[in-house]
Amino acid sequence: MDEEKIEEEEIIFPKELVEEIEQVPEEKHKSIYQQILTMGISQKVQLALKGNKEARGILVKDPNKLVCSAVIKSPKVTEAEALAYAKSRSVSDEVLRLISMKKEWMRSHEVIVALVNNPKTPLALSMQYMLKLSDKEIIDLAKAKGIPAALAAAAKRLILQKTHKKEKKH
């Protein structure tokens, strides 16, 4: 499905999918989820761009890359949401890659740490951002379970290099 066709038809969504709500009651969350399940891809993409935080939180986990990518491209996504998505192990690698491309979010050290520690982040990105971590964070990364072995090994090598440099200075 091409993106031009998706944007042509204007869809009117129910207000519970578009208006921001502070705390969504459990039964309301279920009804939002059920409404989203019945939507086609073009509707989901439009909702991802126009919907509220609750709808975006559901759509960011959609198996279709067009849908989850549209969530990250939405101008409504806040840095706090991006951080939550970066920490989530149930989002796709594409979502994590798109988060890493937004300069304003990548100014946040928390977002960088979340991306590096997420096993779904593409390895090349994790390796690149690992260099921005503090020594303690790198040590924690080297000991972390559930991250790619290559990343843990790189973290261990980095620790050894840093301790070797410190020993040479003394």
pLDDT tens string, the chain, 170 residues long: the values are: 444 444 456 677 777 777 776 665 666 666 888 999 999 999 999 999 999 999 999 999 999 999 999 999 999 999 999 999 999 999 999 999 999 999 999 999 999 999 999 999 999 999 999 999 999 999 999 999 999 999 999 999 999 988 877 776 65
Region at 118 (left for phi over 0; alpha for psi -120 to 50; beta for the rest): beta
What's the whole-model pTM score?
0.80
Answer whether 114's CB lies under 8 Å from 86's CB.
Answer: yes
Radius of gyration of the chain (CA): 19
